[in-house]
Amino acid sequence: MACPKPKTRWLKLFAIAALTVAATLSAQQSSTPDSKTLEMPAGELVRAAVANEVAAADQPKPLHMFRSRRQTPKGTQTRVYVETKDALAAMLIAVDDKPLSEQQQRDESNHLAWLMNNPDQLRKKRSREKEDEDRTLRILKALPDAFQYEYAGSESSTIGMGEPGSQLVKMKFTPNPAYSPPSRLEQVLTGMQGDLLIDAQSRRLARLDGTLFREVSFGWGIIGHLDKGGHFRVQQGNLGLGDGKWGITAISLNVKGKLLIFKSLNMVSDETLSDFRLMPENLTFSQAVEMLKSQQEKRAHDAGSPEPAEAEKARR
């Protein structure tokens, strides 16, 4: 079965759940930030980094194939994703780190074929992805005004977080009492505090780690609420493909609450994105499906092939 695009999922979760977010990541502490960086007020550096994120979102984006391993209390799921000019194509390839059964493989192929042969559904899928992206941009644009910031040291970049070899400026953030959220979407920020890392070289957000320090209610609690103690963490960095492009590499979410009073909200997951590869810039959804099916067939063939030692015994 297909699942939401990881990049747009963090966007969506940040929009639903930017929400709530917590957890302090243990990381290797280094010395203080560069003195020139510290000459800039913390809030201004955040504003510059957010402006760069918005500018990057407005630029034409290269298409990628990548792998996602997502762990929840129910187990793990591994998927291969292919970005296309139409919408995101995704195929489940493993559950609890074990290959799919033949029936599960057929189900994945049939679902992709159904999308490929239903243009209306594909357009709806793309529309949902675009809405998720737009909601996240609204949250990003609100960050400079929604919080108060102060410098809190620095950390070294790691693989998948920031630019290789760059210093990451660490900041603590707390709600800005003067901030008036324009909608329920931004309202979630009023109950969040935590820290973020900004890459000092590129002035981009390398990690955001937030905690919901109080319950946040919507519509006087009638629409729903998010419980105190929830957390959200997302990190991004240079994908190492030679084009300088950044991408999301890890998402952690632990959000609980209620929707419409009766429906429980419980989102707990840790997701790692890896194995990024550039795709042709005009790749269509149909072409991506064929690529995924070809990879599925190759995995099935490799799984059925004997190990070298066993093959040698068979020849004897």
> How confident is the chain (316 residues) per 10-residue block, as mean pLDDT?
47 42 30 57 96 92 95 97 96 96 95 95 94 91 97 94 94 97 88 95 95 79 75 95 93 86 80 96 96 89 62 50
Closest CA to 49 of 195, 196, 194: 196
CA angle 212, 216, 218 (to 5 degrees): 150
pLDDT score at 9:
46
The confidence score (pLDDT) of residue 201 equals 87
- Cα–Cα nearest to 9, from 188, 131, 146, 138: 131
Any domain includes 140? yes
Does 104 reside within a domain? Answer: yes
- Structure confidence at residue 261 (pLDDT): 60
| R_g of the chain computed on alpha carbons | 21
- Residues sharing a CB contact under 8 Å with residue 198, sequence separation 6 or more, in sequence order: 45, 46, 49, 168, 169, 171, 204, 205, 206
Task: Output the CA torsion 51→52→53→55 (10° steps).
Answer: 90
Distance (Å, whole) CA 86 – CA 282: 9
pLDDT at residue 188, as a whole number = 87
φ and ψ of 50, to 5 deg: -65, -40
Domain-located, residue 1: no
Number of domains comprising the chain? 1
Q: Are 276 and 241 in contact (CB under 8 A)?
A: yes
Cα 273 to Cα 240: distance, rounded to the nearest angstrom:
13
The answer to whether position 304 is within a domain reads yes
Residue 217 has a pLDDT of: 77
Q: What is the pLDDT at residue 42?
A: 96
| pLDDT at residue 109 in the model | 95
In a domain, 302, yes or no: yes
Sign of CA dihedral 75, 79, 83, 88: negative
Residues recorded for the chain: 316
In this prediction, residue 129 carries a pLDDT of 93
Nearest to 187 by CA among 129, 226, 133: 226
Q: The domain containing residue 131 runs over which residues?
A: 6-315
pLDDT at 308: 52
286 located within any domain: yes
Residue 187's pLDDT is what?
Answer: 87
Question: How far apart are the C-alpha atoms of 69 and 93, rounded to whole Å?
Answer: 10
